[in-house]
Amino acid sequence: IDDFFTESKVLMQLSHSHPNIIKIKGVCVAPPALGIVLELCNESLFKNLRRTPKISFSRFLRLAIDCTRSLKYLHSRQPPLCHRDVKSLNFLLKGGVIKLADMGLTRSKVAGDATKKRPNRINVKNGQLRDSEVVAGTIQWAAPEVLKKEEYTEKSDIYSLGVVLWEILTGE
């Protein structure tokens, strides 16, 4: 539930201020349902790359620039925001434009949450990194410092972006 309210709050602040951030249309908090209504996108970058693994270099550049711009926008805010779950599944395509989605783990560095050291216990469940009960990213895209339970910073997001750029370039 905390991730739901975090994501709602972050999206309300960001969604209409950058073309590469998913737009929020509404929030439902009527019991028993919780839901966020987002703009309709065609598919995830992950699915698109699996369907069409070979792309031109110009298309690679367009996708790479869109992905990079969305993260640059989060990191250049005051205070800076760390997405904490950058992966091709969280970049959505709408009319050829990339939209960064899934802001449930996004944290402000000033709030301290994004820069605190992780507890000693980390386990993996369904491909998700967990410290206690809090999801802290997806292992396949996680930066080495995240795996070593060190601070999560903007640099950790950039490492994960590098994995996404590799996926775009290779189709793997």
Question: Which residues are tagged catalytic?
Answer: 85
Give the single-character DSSP code of 22: P
Residue 38: its H or E element: strand 35-38
The token duo for 29 is 């908090």
152 and 82 Cβ atoms separated by less than 8 Å? yes
The rounded distance, in Å, linking the Cα atoms of 30 and 106 is 24
Residue 28: its H or E element: strand 24-28
The token duo for 165 is 């750029």
Q: Please report the sign of the dihedral spanned by the C-alpha atoms of residue 113, residue 104, residue 67, residue 150.
A: positive
